[in-house]
Amino acid sequence: MIVDCAIYRHGRRTEDPEDLSDALAEARAEGDAFVWIGLHEPTEKEFDLVTNEFGLHPLAVEDALKAHQRPKLEVYDDSLFIVLKPVFYEPDSDEVSTGEVMVFIGDAFVVTVRHGKSSPLAALRRRLESEPEVLRKGPTTVLYSIADVTVDHYLEVATELGTDLEELEAEVFSPTGGDSRNTASRIYRFKRQILEFRRATVPLAMPLTRLSGGGSYSAGVPFVNETAQPFFRDVNDHLTRVNETVEGLDRLVSDILAAHLAQMGVRQNDDMRKISAWAAMAAVPTLIAGIYGMNFDHMPELHWLLSYPAVILGMVVLEVLLYRTFKRRGWM
């Protein structure tokens, strides 16, 4: 559905247009105005009106309706289409969730399509409307602001994930080592969150590089003011920092998982040594009792008066010697 629709003249919101075609014609005629339409999970029927009036490319429209797209930038004859994936941190569950924001930029218009419950667009529109000197620069300002607030939020999420990883690391390397099954499960879930985060941040590097005129894209992108390239370059620098942080988190959580598995292996070896030591100690009296339990009439010291206490004493001495030996070697 259409969440918000307005015409902006000289950076100030004027009226909500009743007819999109007339509003777009007026904005293009004035030269210092543009139309900004915001939609939330529109149906195909709801989006048809916007598609027809603004001449959006059918492939981009299909992507905007279906969602579940990776971050990308597509250039068409009459518009520019970019996909961003905002990332949100749920403090109650310590989990990462993602949404999607699709932005169409064209001659004197901006169309934003949002998928997911959470989005920074509503607060962003209010902030831009309070800064007419910034908003008067047109659709390029809207695109930059959306990219900037999205990437800035990546930094916040990366900080939260770093804190969670420190807690997980402390649990793994604690003296008790935590519950093995629960700890391994937490590490795996955390690695899944890192993977979800990377799916949002890593593919965005190429679109921002194109918008910033970096590499082989110095010619710029249609419908984007070239004077905004330094600002997109700043956003791209922040994204690079985010990707480096996420890469470091991914490597560290892999190392923590390897350390946890190594600790489990060491504990299992210790347990097997202890079991083997106790089994060896139990074998000695079993052996002696087995020998004297055989049904023979003629055995050494069988009828000797002190044979029973001597055998018991021998068992005790051997058990003590074995216990001290195993204890000294760290098997018990």
For residue range 104-116, list pLDDT tens digits in order.
Answer: 998 888 999 998 8
Query: In terms of DSSP bridges, do strands 33-40 and 109-115 run parallel, antiparallel, or are they unpaired?
Result: parallel
Contact 83, 102 (CB under 8 A): yes
275 compared with 98, residue with greater pLDDT: 98
What local confidence, expressed as pLDDT, does residue 219 receive? Answer: 65
Confidence of residue 236 (pLDDT cuts 50, 70, 90): very high
Exposed/middle/buried for residue 182 (C-beta within 10 Å: 0-12, 13-18, 19+):
exposed
What local confidence, expressed as pLDDT, does residue 291 receive? Answer: 67
What local confidence, expressed as pLDDT, does residue 185 receive? Answer: 81
The predicted model scores a pTM of 0.77
pLDDT score of 298 more than 70: no
1 compared with 252, residue with greater pLDDT: 252
What letters, b where the CB count within 10 A reaches 16 and e where it falls short, cover 22-50?
Answer: ebbebbeeeeebbbbbbbbebeeeebeeb
Q: Which residues contact 10 (CB under 8 A, 6 or more apart)?
A: 32, 33, 132, 136
143 compared with 306, residue with greater pLDDT: 143
Mean pLDDT score across all residues of the chain: 83
Say which range, 11-25, 189-203, 220-234, 265-279, has the weakest mean pLDDT.
Answer: 265-279
Confidence of residue 91 (pLDDT cuts 50, 70, 90): confident
pLDDT score of 31 more than 80: no
DSSP H helices, 32-131, are 44-54, 58-66, 121-129
pLDDT score of 327 more than 80: no
Name the nearest CA neighbour of 301 among 314, 317, 319.
Answer: 314
For residue range 246-274, list pLDDT tens digits in order.
Answer: 999 989 988 888 887 777 777 777 777 77
What local confidence, expressed as pLDDT, does residue 179 receive? Answer: 61
Residue 192 DSSP class: H
